[in-house]
Amino acid sequence: MESKHPVERAIPDVPDAIAEMIDLSTDMLWRYLSDRDGLSVSATLVLNRLNRQGPMRLTALASAEGVSQSGMTQLVQRMEGQGLLERSTDPDDGRASLVMIGETGRRFCDARTNRWRQRIAELLPAVCRDDQTALWLATQVVVRILGQMTTAADRQAQVGAELTG
114 lies in the same domain as 89: yes
Beta bridge partners of residue 87, listed in sequence order? 99
More confident residue, 150 or 163: 150
90 lies in the same domain as 156: no
Residue 113 in domain: yes
Is residue 164 scored above 70 in pLDDT?
no
DSSP 126: G
pLDDT of residue 35: 72
Residue 96 in domain: yes
Residue 91 in domain: yes
Measured between its terminal Cα atoms, the distance across the chain in Å is 39
Mean pLDDT of 46-75: 93
Angle CA 44–147–107, to nearest 5: 35
Summarize pLDDT for 101-131 with one digit per residue, the tens. 999 999 999 998 999 999 999 999 999 999 9
41 lies in the same domain as 117: yes
pLDDT of residue 1: 44
- Which residue, among 65, 95, 90, 93, has the nearest Cα to 79 in the 3D structure? 65
pLDDT of residue 77: 97
Q: Which residues form the domain of 149? A: 127-165
pTM for this model (two decimals): 0.75
Mean pLDDT of 5-10: 58
Per the structure, how many domains does the chain have? 2
Q: CB–CB of 60/154 below 8 Å?
A: no
- State the CB neighbour count (10 A cutoff) for residue 59: 12
pLDDT of residue 3: 47
- pLDDT above 90 covers a percentage of the chain that reads 52
Q: CB–CB of 72/58 below 8 Å?
A: yes
